[in-house]
Structure 1
Amino acid sequence: MDCNHLFIASLNSGSNGNCYYVGNHNEAILVDAGISCRETEKRMLRLGLSMQKVKAIFISHEHTDHIKGLATLASKYNLPIYINPGTLAGCPLNLREDLLRTLKIDQPIQIGNLLVTGFLKLHDASEPVSFVVSCGETKVGVFTDLGAVCEQLTFHFKQCHAAFLETNYDDELLQKSAYPYFLKKRVSGGRGHLSNQQALELFIAHKPTFMTHLLLSHLSKDNNCPELAANLFTQHANGTEIIVASRHEETKVYTILEPAAVHSF
């Protein structure tokens, strides 16, 4: 059973902090630790998730909203931190050396029955990565902080039964916002964030028929609207459940199960 099921939840998603839970019946990982240790514990408790099942933390890049709670959380629970050399070099935190593990690009890491693969993405950080977590044939992608859709992202997206996908901003809202010009260029310039429309184009063109859940992630507080993003994707969902990952609270826990008949992409 463990190699057919994955359980996923967003504990928080946005520029104020990012943390995503992916696990099976026996073990789990967190992707990023951008909220406090105490808040991580509280949200997992409310969801009925156990910190004792969490076996590692995987870090996508060194920006504060992805690592803010990392040092305390990892130290308290003696959790290995998988982080690549570029990200570690840019990380301002004082992390326990005995907990550090080298994350190698495109090389799967086994955590119990989970396989976690990090691949490079386009973002304005030192060596930023996205992740695919698999258990047996079931795959979940964590695809946020993306400046653009690249071939690697498309390749992995097409294999996922569920994904956290960045829908950071609406083009019109960004252009009309009070953001200074340089910040608007940073967000939309190819190494910042993915717009609703860019994410939707990926979804329409490359969504596999077996994708059951899509969690719209890392929405901007000022330049997006949860209802706007959800409505945009729901029109094209074709059986995929669309969920907006909140910047204020955790989502529900979703069960991802590989349809038995589906094995080709």
Structure 2
Amino acid sequence: MISGRISFTSLGSGSKGNATLVRAGKTLILIDCGFTLKEVTRRLQQQAVDPRDLTAVLVTHEHGDHIGGVGALCRRYNLPLFTTPGTRLSGRLGLLPDWRKIDPEHPFAVGDLEVWPVTVPHDAREPVQFILGNGASRLGVLTDLGCITPHVIRHYRRCQGLILEANHDPDLLAQGPYPPSLKRRVAGDYGHLSNQQAAELLLQLDQKQLQHLVASHLSEQNNCPDLARQTLATSLNCTPDWVALAEQESGLGWRQLD
């Protein structure tokens, strides 16, 4: 299955909304949509994409910053939507024109892309993250998990591109404005990866294959871009500016895998 190189971009990443675009050949997949229909249309247009060009929408889990605009987008443009049964049963999607079930750990094809849904530890009903491949290269999307498991390492070990959560710095989280219960949730095994946890994961991957690393889902209150990039860069023995950043407002420019 080799039909065009994989390219990808982020429409925005953070607690106010997440959406990632992945293209290969004639296939264009949107992963998550935490923005309103009006806002995601605007952000798609900024990337020279018409919503009618989308092949399908994939959803990782049912939290609002990932699913908020999914139902409206799929209804407006009659798009197929792939989710796990747990995500579907959350009741947050409304009526859908074309729902398709994801079986975690069972790969499936969407046009020119093969998709591997990977189970992750997160406080949602049946959360997954995704690896997408075209037979020549693989893009890993890995956000919204509280800890790194051997299962995650095994699946993400050989990606050429990686969009990786670096949500918080433990010290900034501890000193920050969140109430204690929310701090425990974010830092817990079913919360979000810290900069240090993301860096530890990188040490266990095949770094020689990595062409693009994107730090994503950064907390505005409990992290800062320079700190996240420096922490990840240390694991890769590279300069911080090699680590790209998926920002909340401006997202990320298109990247392509060789």
| TM-score bucket (shorter structure) | over 0.9
Aligned counterpart, 2:40 = 40
Deviates more, 1:80-89 or 1:42-51: 42-51
Distance 2:2 2:220 in 1: 37
In structure 2, the partner of 1:254 is 255
Match of 2:17 in 1: 17
Counterpart in the other structure of 1:168: 167
Separation in 2, partners of 1:226, 1:218: 11
How far apart in 2 are the matches of 1:86 and 1:227? 36
> Which runs of structure 2 are paired with 1:32-71 in the superposition (5 Å)?
32-71=32-71
* TM-score, normalization by structure 2: 0.94
**Residue 95 (structure 1) shift:** 2.6
1:60-93, Cα deviation, whole Å (9 max, x unpaired)? 1111111111111111211101011111111323
Q: Deviations over 1:47-72 (max 9, x none)?
A: 22343432111111111111111111
Taking the TM superposition and a 5 Å limit, the aligned residue runs for 1:177-188 are 177-188=176-187
TM superposition shift of 1:44:
2.0
Q: Does structure 1 retain, via aligned residues, the 8 Å contact 2:37–2:73?
A: yes
Question: In the TM superposition, what is the alpha-carbon distance from 1:10 to its structure 2 partner?
Answer: 0.8
Which ranges of structure 1 fall in alignment gaps of 5 or more residues?
258-265
Give the distance between the partners of 1:142 and 1:91, measured in 2 at CA: 24
Aligned to 2:132: 133
Which residue of 1 is the match for residue 227 of structure 2?
228
Residue equivalent to 1:116: 115
CA contact (8 A) 1:121 1:130 kept: yes
Q: Distance in 2 between matches of 1:23 and 1:53?
A: 11
Give the AA of the match of 1:155: R
SS of residue paired to 2:62: coil
Once the two structures are TM-superposed, the CA of residue 2 in structure 1 deviates from its matched residue by 5.4
| Alignment match, 2:142 | 143
Residue 60 of structure 2 corresponds to residue 77 of structure 1: no
Cα separation, partners in 2 of 1:50 and 1:2, compared to 1, 3 Å: farther
Q: Which segments of 5 or more consecutive residues in structure 2 lack a partner in the other structure? A: none
TM-score when scaled to structure 1?
A: 0.92
* Separation in 2, partners of 1:110, 1:162: 19
Q: C-alpha separation between the residues in 2 aligned to 1:204 and 1:91?
A: 39
The question of whether the paired residues in 2 share the 8 Å contact of 1:2 and 1:26 is answered with no
- 4+ long deviations beyond 6 Å: none
Q: Paired residues, what number?
A: 256
Instruction: Measure the CA separation in 1 of the matches of 2:187 and 2:169.
Output: 10
RMSD after superposition: 1.7
Shift of 1:4: 5.3
Aligned to 2:141, the other structure's residue is in SS state: strand
Identity %: 36
